[in-house]
Structure 1
Amino acid sequence: MEREAERYLQLNARLIERLRFEALYRGGSKERVLQVLRGYQNPDGGFGHAMEPDLRGPSSQPEPVEVAFWILDELDAFDDPMVAAACDYLASVTTKDGGVPFVLPTVKEAPHAPWWEPQEDPPGSLIPTASIAGLLHKHGVKHPWLESATSFCWNALARIDETTPYHARAIVTFLDLVDDRERADAEFARLKEAILATVTMDPFAEGEVHFPLDFAPAPLRHLSLFSDETIEEHLDALARVQAPEGGWEPNFLMWTPVVRHEWGGYLTVARLNTFRAYGRSTA
């Protein structure tokens, strides 16, 4: 599995994914990953330059901050100055309700996937506010933006009865990692069935579906969402769907050719991390 994935990454992936693999699986330098990640960060502290492959432009957007933070999370590098700078950027684009928008109007300046369509005066969104806030709580980051973002998330969650898969994934991240466990557990109990309604349990379902391991790519810290049997079944299936060329294919629309392998590289490292997080061998 790992050797095939390595070859796929060498042939197809971005430099940052090749270096992530080297750092995590071959004893390579984490600092080299961070050096490349800094190249995606703009002077305003945000990230652009196709850090999120479906946003091709150089301008900062909120969602690429989440992508960058997941990389910092796997490296346990939230003490890097990039984090504070990114939080300053988030504060600069935060709406009156305390969240950051799903996408900013500057997305129109460059090619982008069709689902990244902005509103002229976009409101705050749980995507990506909730995931970013959750990761900051996980790593004990102290920044003024986190207080307003956390309050926004609680207020937004209180208004939800039904949700969508991507929103549900952000909700799970926030509720699993936020500091206020009593409140988080209560909200999770209320929303658990709504979250599960967005999950595809058939491990070989096709199309743009969301599996248990998309919600729990590593064991959840506090939430009980899936049984051990379900996780094991989906780990078995994930091993079986490794593509012949060695990577894991995205299951959502590939709207321009380059994103297939950019997302493929990102997902391939993420899939290996999932196997490791659940104690599975990747050899």
Structure 2
Amino acid sequence: MNVLNPSDLARAAEFMRLNARLIDRRRFALHFLGGPAAPVVAALRAYENPDGGYGHALEPDLRGEGSQPVPAQHALQFLHEAGADDDPAVGRVGDYLASISRDDGGVPFVLPSVRGTPHGPWWRTPDDPPGSINPTATLAGMLHRARSGHPWLGPADAFCWRYLEGLDTEPGAYDVLAVLTFLDHVPDRERAEAAFAGVRDVLSAGAGSDHQDVLDFAPAPGGYGHRLFGAGMIEARLDALADAQDDDGGWDIAFPSWTPVTRPEWRGFVTVERLLTLRAYGRLKP
């Protein structure tokens, strides 16, 4: 069994100091150096917009200043990590999502305003984009995890349940991730369990891509993502993940960088994520 020792964590710390964004350095300090949570929340404020959404390359492949739906996921994740689920920013995210929702309760994957900003070439959308399970299900799941009672969640939950009731063909990998987040945190646990049982096979079929690994779907023990895979497969991927630490101390990304800054920005984020996964599975020595 491959594990990381304190010297490996020290190499990761130096990588973060040399390469990562401030917000990811703050996250690393919080999780692995005993740092305080407040600097994470403070760093996040720089990415927030007056409409309650987030931009300014919080999602590194969306370089524009204006708010987009997916960066709100990162914001909710970072707030949760910092123990700030009760921060007023969580409610402001709900207000923002309500302002961009479609009539069916879903929010689009990306808004047309992306066209006037620098962005990765895969961020495309029609003039009137429909609601999408990715990121609606992720955002709903994260707001439920924060114990939010925002009114946006009613229509959003209904959108997600309808999607699951009609899901009979293999979804894309990002759709699988979104569904798993929703099912992990939606309050109706009995309905979540029944829904997972009904769609488990199609979720398993979609849980993978050329740049997503088993551990992206099961980043910690427990949860529905963990139940998609056998223990043997997860253990093998943990061994590979521990071995994948680069000589510079960080972990690399498995998708293209379309402008030079995005690779180091993503690597800082991913390095924190990989270390959190290794620690969750007991692969990081204290």
The interval holding the TM-score normalised by the smaller chain is: over 0.9
Once the two structures are TM-superposed, the CA of residue 213 in structure 1 deviates from its matched residue by: 0.7
Q: Which amino acid aligns with 1:213?
A: L
Residue number among 257, 260, 263 corresponding to 2:263 in the alignment: 260
2:220 corresponds to: 218
In structure 2, C-alpha distance between the alignment counterparts of 1:209 and 1:260, rounded to whole Å: 14
Query: What displacement does 1:281 show?
Result: 1.5
Residue of structure 1 equivalent to 2:3: none
**How many angstroms apart in 2 are the aligned matches of 1:215 and 1:145?**
26
Aligned to 1:174: 182
Task: Report the equivalent of 2:91.
Answer: 84
- The structural deviation recorded for 1:209 is 3.1
Write out per-residue CA displacement over residues 197-234 of structure 1, whole angstroms, 9 at most, x where no aligned residue. 1234xxxxxx8332111011122335622222222211
TM-score scaled by structure 1? 0.94
Of 177, 194, 197, which residue of structure 2 is paired with 1:189? 197
Q: Give a deviation string over 1:52-96, Cα, whole Å, max 9, x none.
A: 000000000000001111112222211111111111001000110
Q: CA deviation at 1:282?
A: 4.9
1:142 aligns with one of 122, 144, 149: 149
Matched residues in 1 for 2:165 and 2:121: separation?
30
Counterpart for residue 239 of structure 2? 236
> Aligned equivalents of 1:236 and 1:282: distance in 2?
14
Q: Which amino acid aligns with 2:141?
A: G
One-letter code of the match for 2:171? T
List gaps (5 residues or longer) in structure 2: 1-7
Query: TM-score, normalized by length of structure 2?
Result: 0.93
Give the structure 2 partner of residue 199 of structure 1.
207
Q: State the distance in 2 between where 1:66 and 1:282 align.
A: 30
1:15 to 15, 22, 28: 22
Structure 1 residues 222 and 166: alpha-carbon distance in aligned structure 2, compared to 1, 3 A threshold: closer
C-alpha contact 2:62 2:119 (8 A) present in aligned 1? yes
How far apart are the structure 2 equivalents of 1:279 and 1:72?
Answer: 24
- Contact in 2 for aligned 1:2/1:282 (Cα 8 Å): no
Residue 211 (structure 2) aligns with: 209
In structure 2, give the amino acid aligned to 1:102. F
Range that drifts further, 223-232 or 244-253: 223-232
Identical residues among aligned pairs (%): 51
Indicate the larger mover: 85-94 or 219-228.
Answer: 219-228
Deviates more, 1:243-252 or 1:190-199: 190-199
How many positions carry a matched residue from both structures?
A: 277
Equivalent position of 1:60 in the other structure: 67
